[in-house]
Amino acid sequence: MAFIVAIDGPAGSGKGTITKIVGKKMNLINIDTGAMYRCVTLECLNNNIKSDEIEKISSILENIDIQLKKENGKELVFLNKKDVTEEIRSVEVSSNVANFAAIKCIRDKMTPIQREMGKTQNIIMEGRDIGTTVFPNADVKIYLDCSIEERARRRYKQNLEKGIEQTYEEVLKNIKERHKSETERELSPLVIADDAIYIDTTTLSIDEVVEKIVSIIKDKIFN
């Protein structure tokens, strides 16, 4: 087993940005598992499949091909060979993904793929259940938290930069709904692993969080 860093936490806690920077600094392959759930959601939406149509979802999963690639320094996401990096961040996918991510056959398909990625390469993997379900024996487990209002502010800003039109109130509502379903769902809910290091990022800068995590990883490697 390679060296595994698990980063869990809610949407807007800074996971994505921070994981990318730490991965680069520490030479770890960065894996965004949320992007994988977003790909499945996009594929279902494209095929007009609803989250209660389990048989249809299972059949989609049989041949789904999701690739996370780095090209010219950019992290790209391919769904069935098509670049969907931007499309998986759409408002439609964002508002539906929590429903799809709660489905057993989808999680049963994604979890082994994620485990496989950590077999041969040193990774930093971000998601909701990485330190609890995917890699319960990860070398380092971090739980990144943040107040719900600050999370909505960050996502709203990101959306503006990407040209996604949504008011702050809409973003806040979406984040609240997702938080409820992610923490209350039956399968792999978002919980803090007993042995995770908890970091509240509400008042911290990206650099401060990165510094903390890098020092935690270094401690682990050298001790």
Smallest distance from ligand DC to CB 178, Å: 5
Whichever of 119 and 218 has its CB closer to ligand DC, that residue is 119
Measured from the CB atom, the residue of 39 and 210 that comes closer to ligand DC is 39
Residue placing its CB nearer to ligand DC in the complex, 9 or 222 = 9
Cβ atoms of 14 and 201 within 8 Å: the answer is yes
Q: Report, in Å, the least distance between residue 127 CB and ligand DC.
A: 2
Element (DSSP H or E) covering residue 121: none
Strands 74-79 and 66-71, bridge-based pairing: antiparallel
d(C-alpha 85, C-alpha 68), whole Å: 9
Q: What is the DSSP string of 35-71?
A: HHHHHHHHHHHHTT--TT-HHHHHHHHHT--EEEEEE
Token pair 């792999």: residue: 188
Whole-number minimum distance, CB 133 to ligand DC, in Å?
Answer: 8
By beta-carbon proximity to ligand DC, the closer residue of 33 and 201 is 33
Give yes or no for a contact between 187 and 102, defined as CB atoms under 8 angstroms apart: yes
Contact residues toward ligand DC (CB under 6 A) are 11, 33-34, 37-38, 97-98, 101, 127-130, 178, 182
Least spacing, CB of residue 37 vs ligand DC, in Å: 4
